[in-house]
Structure 1
Amino acid sequence: MNERILISGASIAGQTLAYWLARHGFRPTLVERAPRLREGGNGVDVRGHAIDVAERMGIMPQIRAMAADVQGMSFVNAANRSVARIDAQAMQSGGADVEIMRGDLVALLYEATKDDVEYVFGDSIRTLEQSGDGVAVSFEHGPARRFDLVIGADGMHSTVRRLAFGPESRFIQHKGHYFAFSNADSALGENRWVTMYNVPGKMAGIYRSGNHAQAKAYFIFRRSEPLTYDHRDVEQHKRLVSEAFAGESWRVRELLAGALADPDFYFDALSQVRMPSWSSGRVALVGDAAYCASPASGAGAELALVGAYRLAGELAAASGDHQVAFRRYEDGHRELVDQKQKIGPNVRLMVPKTRTGRWVRDTMARLPLMRAMATVERIMAPKNTAPLPDYNRDQVADHLIREPQLATAGRARGLFPHCDRAAS
């Protein structure tokens, strides 16, 4: 029945997957390289079907209560005078979408899973060896164990993907920019606004939510040739950002000083993960490990929540048959991934290549045209019209009615407790 499932990565996708697997009667173990939850990070958007997932988990009220209340973007010159503003709230398609700080969402997911999921912090997968009836896993620190399935939810630089699918160079597509974020002194930014300062090919900014005492600094710079660096070497990352922004005016010096002192400083390439398949035998991927759309898409949390929900649900609907479940998971989720990986003008808006481009951006932001363009983009954007499957009721019950022998075996092992009546 593939009951014992190892998940690598305790972020949004990994914890959401663990929640639903436990809910469906599986026994998930979640291993995380960090010694504790990674509670830093930027703002993430819960929108579309991700709202449905969060509501079914019972955490949507908390998400709304902890929402970041940023009003929009303010573009400033070197003297810190605002030259253009975009009211993001006025351009939203409605009141349903919520932005929440990534660390707050991760903490909510941990509270929802900690009593039903085995967490192993401070360790990571070293090797995977698949066989016909399971996966032998060795760890960097803990003893070797055996699982029925292994799921990589360990981000763009996924260890599971490298071990089961091959080197990341085969799947990562660089988009020409690098970004970093860190904690920042809130006094440097305007309350409830994202303040951005540009020079050609670079952006430094500060994100200040009125609901959070801690502000966030952002740095983005363009580079046509890819940089060579170790994605785990934080000191190297700090040097790269310092060199890229050395000598810039506005408040860059103060923001850099705070970033260099922040132990949770984060840096990486603005890239996407594109794969022909998200599974290999008894190993599958979810979230950024499988289909990172890049921070410029604003869709990372949405893809993680919906993808994890679908993967767990398909495993339940298939009574743990991973071959059937992995195929259905990909068939159901691929369309949304393809939509979200089509990045619009976000990067060009934040990081104009030239002074002329910056002038055009600022001019457009001051005109009603920007709002009209946003309205047209919302109208023309593909809509997720198909309802999200309800695996707790429709999919699982229907499948078990059609496969009574699987229902009997599943109930005998404690699976599908919510479907007993429908499948009997």
Structure 2
Amino acid sequence: MSYPFPLRGLRVLVSGAGVAGPALAWWLTRYGAEVTVVELAPALRTSGFAVDFRGPTHLGVLAAMGVLDDLRAVQTHGGAMSCVDERGREIFRLPAEFAGGELEVRRRDLSRILHQRSADRAEYLFGDQIAALTETVDGVHVEFDRAGARTVDVVVGADGLHSGVRRLAFGPESGYVRHLGYQLAGWELPNELGVGALSQQYNVPGRMVSVAADQSDPTRAGAFVVFTVPDPEGDWYDLDQQKKIITTAFDGLGWHVPHLLDSLRDVPELYFDSISKVRVPRWHAGRTALLGDAAWGVTLGGMGVGTGIVGGYVLAGELAAAAGDHRIAFPAYERRLRDYAMRWQRGANPGPFLAPATASGLRLRNRLLRTRPVQALLVRGTRSLATDLDLPDYPAPS
């Protein structure tokens, strides 16, 4: 069935301008909704890692949005991943199809393209955040830190693992986010090491560091670290503190580690987070719903970005099919998507895979990943999880 602008007049506030938020905004505005996207960062974020898409479910939604060709033009052609010892000798190599999927792009490029495609119809408020939500009979009264208060019909929290909307509408983060024992970080640096595009990683028990050249600019490189932290405490959201934590964790190691730590001193922006898992029993409360990592995230685990894109399509489609009635749309969205999102999230904990905590665990991982049957099993598993969802047809957007 097709009909024009089924969401005309519906006022939607989306928190988060990363990936899922702009994707949702694109669909909602094409259905006629009045959409505002609020983002705490002063501009689109440029940090983060490469992200990948796999199979007809992910690629089908990207094609329907008209962004597939744009993404293919900036794809990284993600390659294999090589694990090396302190002298740079290869221990095992994982194939490109495991590390990069069918389409891999930098997170910043994906965010930029989705923002460009949605900003013609959606309002973006950067450098601000939601301070309070009060639901009324007719809508949600929203107070911002900086912008004036306003009333909207529905609110969507697409603001990540540490979602402010989830905290305001559902309760404290401690009730929904479980730390998995690791932290991770990534930063860019000049490629003074002369490394190639093949990602090389070096391990000691409980710690992993990797580096690879930027495929579009070989004069630049990206560093990535993962390390055990049983229970992160204190103010680790401050940039200087993050650098101190990384330096302390990796000080004294060999390979390229001293050079990478030296480069950290001048880094103006750093991706830093705990590896955690989100579990929310119900993704909606009244006029507020959660999308992406705010609802089902794992900090690093394979298909969170692709599932967020699919989730934006489903949430907008259910709102359109229900003519904007959140009481019908939100439960339908959750029914369609929960099993799909939970299937890949359930076993996802990349920490022990990337940085086994013990020497015996590290030896076992290396021995297993040298074998072709185990590598083939990993590739088949990620591919099947990514594609196992029949997308419904919704009213054709304008």
1:20 maps onto 2:5 in alignment: no
1:103 maps onto 2:108 in alignment: yes
Q: How big is the alpha-carbon RMSD for the aligned residues of Structure 1 and Structure 2?
A: 2.2
Alignment of 1:9-408 (within 5 A): 9-48=16-55, 49-89=57-97, 97-188=102-193, 190-213=195-218, 214-223=220-229, 225-230=230-235, 232-295=237-300, 297-343=301-347, 346-374=350-378, 377=381, 381=384, 384-393=387-396
Q: Shift in Å at residue 288 of structure 1?
A: 0.8
Q: Which moved more, 1:226-235 or 1:51-60?
A: 226-235
Residues 351-406 of structure 1 deviation map (CA, whole Å, 9 limit, x = unaligned): 12233333333333333333343366468x5574542122134xxxxxxxxxxxxx
Residues 176-223 of structure 1 deviation map (CA, whole Å, 9 limit, x = unaligned): 111111113334363221110101010011133423443221111113
* Structure label with greater radius of gyration: 1
Confirm or deny: 8 A CA contact 1:286 1:304 kept in the other structure.
yes
CA gap 1:251/1:125 in 2 versus in 1, 3 angstroms: same
Residue equivalent to 1:403: none
CA gap 1:140/1:232 in 2 versus in 1, 3 angstroms: farther
Confirm or deny: 8 A CA contact 2:291 2:312 kept in the other structure.
yes
Residue equivalent to 1:398: none
Matches of 1:287 and 1:118, distance apart in 2: 20
SS across alignment from 1:181: strand
Unaligned ranges ≥5, structure 1 = 394-415, 419-424
Confirm or deny: 8 A CA contact 1:46 1:97 kept in the other structure.
yes
Which residue type is aligned with residue 171 of structure 2?
A: G
SS across alignment from 1:392: coil
Matches of 2:327 and 2:124, distance apart in 1: 26
Confirm or deny: 8 A CA contact 2:83 2:91 kept in the other structure.
yes
SS across alignment from 2:346: coil
Matches of 2:233 and 2:350, distance apart in 1: 25
How many residues align? The count is 389
Which residue type is aligned with residue 200 of structure 2?
A: T
Q: Shift in Å at residue 345 of structure 1?
A: 7.4
Matches of 1:70 and 1:46, distance apart in 2: 11
Which residue type is aligned with residue 391 of structure 2?
A: L
Q: Shift in Å at residue 126 of structure 1?
A: 0.9
Compare the two structures and name the one with the higher helix fraction: 1
Q: Shift in Å at residue 80 of structure 1?
A: 2.4
Residues 285-309 of structure 1 deviation map (CA, whole Å, 9 limit, x = unaligned): 11111111230x2112112101111
Q: Which moved more, 1:312-321 or 1:356-365?
A: 356-365
Confirm or deny: 8 A CA contact 1:207 1:218 kept in the other structure.
no
Q: Shift in Å at residue 77 of structure 1?
A: 1.6
Q: Shift in Å at residue 87 of structure 1?
A: 2.2
Which residue type is aligned with residue 220 of structure 1?
A: V
Residues 239-272 of structure 1 deviation map (CA, whole Å, 9 limit, x = unaligned): 2111111111111122122233222202111001
Residue equivalent to 1:407: none
Matches of 2:349 and 2:381, distance apart in 1: 11
Counting aligned pairs with the same residue, the percent is 38
CA gap 1:308/1:231 in 2 versus in 1, 3 angstroms: farther
TM-score, with length taken from structure 2: 0.91
Q: Shift in Å at residue 81 of structure 1?
A: 2.6
SS across alignment from 2:319: helix
Which residue type is aligned with residue 356 of structure 2?
A: P
Confirm or deny: 8 A CA contact 1:69 1:209 kept in the other structure.
no
